[in-house]
Amino acid sequence: MTPWDIADRPRRRVGRGLELHDEIPSTNDRARELLAEPDGEGRAVVAEVQTAGRGRRGRTWTSPGGVNLAVSVGLQPRLSTGDAWQLAAAAALAAWDACNRFAPVTLKWPNDVVADFDGAKVGGILIETTLDGERVAEAVIGIGLNLNWARRDMPAELAGATSLAELAGGPVDRGEVLDGLLDALDDEIVALEAGHTPRDRYRAACSTLGREVELETGEGRIHGRAVDIDERGELVLETSDGTVHVASGEIARLRTAVPA
């Protein structure tokens, strides 16, 4: 028995095969390689340790073996380039659903899973896409979740992080989390390709909305109140200079909005 003894999904798109690694440079890179192999689409690549794991905005992603979950899935989705942003929202919702079975979590824009009560980070998502004209040719969905990593053992640079076990008050079954995650992600992809946007459900799960934020973008910092997620997946801010739509950025500060 291993922590990843989960049911096979021969008739499902996501996770219909499971590839396990004690150590690998990057689960995202391996999932991309599988897209060139027969029946490689949808295979879930899981690693205990990544030696070259990546996060958003060029960051590295590190995790000790035996406690967390790092999984990537490569797909050839039937999506237009204009709808590519929905992949991140769908993956975030799948992670949110899997984690919420153990402890209350919410989503922080654009795609972090965070503790419901204090916003400590539980996990994140990295989507890497290849575009072909007006369609998404390939997409690799990478999800990293802190599951049984004790907060006291996390390095200083992760001071704002926590784990699902810390929130649940005890260890969580990593195989059960993975099983729920793959089921939820499969359902999300089916819905996406049928033309059903995850926008409304993402907005309902996103604790960023209604808060005062300081957002770091490539053009500087923006201060304002997060009021919506628009039809392109952009965060809508009400600022002193008017309404601003932000396609990408990093929330540097987040606090409860002061009532008018």
* Peptide linkage before 110 cis (omega within 30 of 0): yes
Whole-number pLDDT of residue 1: 38
Whole-number pLDDT of residue 213: 92
- CA 237, CA 225: separation in Å to the nearest integer? 5
Domains of the chain as residue ranges with CATH? 18-205 (3.30.930.10), 211-256 (2.30.30.100)
Whole-number pLDDT of residue 60: 63
- CA 17, CA 147: separation in Å to the nearest integer? 22
Indicate whether this model's pTM tops 0.75: yes
- Number of Cβ within 10 Å of residue 72's Cβ equals 28
- Residue entry with tokens 């049984």: 148
Consecutive 10-residue runs of the chain (260 residues): their mean pLDDT?
62 87 94 94 94 64 86 96 95 97 96 92 94 96 96 87 96 95 96 96 95 87 94 94 90 65
Whole-number pLDDT of residue 258: 46
Whole-number pLDDT of residue 260: 43
- Number of Cβ within 10 Å of residue 116's Cβ equals 14
